[in-house]
Amino acid sequence: MTVPTKPPYGNAADSASERAPGEPLHSPVIDWFDEHARDLPWRRPEAGAWGVMVSEFMLQQTPVNRVLPVYEQWLARWPRPADLAAEAPGEAVRAWGRLGYPRRALRLHGAAVAITERHGGDVPTDHAQLLALPGIGEYTAAAVASFAYGQRHAVLDTNVRRVFARAVTGVQYPPNATTAAERRLARALLPEEPSTAARWAAASMELGALVCTAKNESCHRCPIAAQCAWRLAGKPAHDGPPRRGQTYAGTDRQVRGRLLAVLRETHGPVPQAALDRVWHEPVQRARALDGLVADGLVEPLPGGLYRLPLS
């Protein structure tokens, strides 16, 4: 594939000629996906739009193998948005377990309440209505509209961005944060037909997750290796800003996780002394607890007690 000197950026109304750069990629990637896609519960028809939405919240910055057991338990307990909305938000935090970034649980609960109140308990099909739900950003709205309802939207997660950066732009990694240029390119690469576009979104995401990975790309297994601009250029090393690494040990995130673990395991208020035992450094421990309170993940009570939020 020839790398365009000027990216074919456009919007959903652009002409077919402006989307032509994606055409050589669609069939091989989708055919590969049809043969190699993982059998994941949120991809099955019975998952429905709610199952897709739950999976999208859980999969943000969390690998599939950690999500699977929590997802299954979540859908067994709350098979519809109204079931979750009827519970206290603290129960969502409790059920979230150790998936990390527990504010996602509160956001998912908030979305379930809004779906119940505004849409009769059914996840809306309209992209704008999805985007208007609390806790739903550009990516999640596009993913639900695409994967649950077969609509035509650019779905840009980390894996898709990496595939496009390498195959089309010819660089090893995309920018640290999604750019407007990436969004325009993704729209330009979309197939015309909505169901094909939805399949393309899922297929390019799976390709990034299984083959065109961040550290150990398997070009010999890639269906578009012969067209990949980065491979054809000799795989030049990344020369942009340093890529952000994630640390956990000793951070406030670790302390927050330990504090929340105590609260999740106890049904009822927890005394300050029980929380003090989970971390030796009092200043960091207090800062982490204050952050949990500020984020709405923990409610302070009179008498030095704490609990998961009830409202």
**Active-site amino acid positions:** 56
Q: Encoding tokens for residue 282?
A: 């009092």
Q: Encoding tokens for residue 304?
A: 């030095």
Q: Where are the alpha helices (DSSP H) in the chain?
A: 16-19, 23-36, 48-59, 64-77, 81-85, 89-96, 103-119, 127-131, 138-149, 158-164, 180-188, 194-210, 229-232, 252-264, 272-276, 282-294
Answer yes or no: are the C-beta atoms of 278 and 259 closer than 8 Å. yes
- Residue in the block written with tokens 């609390």: 134
Answer yes or no: are the C-beta atoms of 40 and 64 closer than 8 Å. yes
Q: Encoding tokens for residue 275?
A: 């929380």
Q: Is 287 left (phi over 0), alpha (psi -120 to 50) or beta?
A: alpha
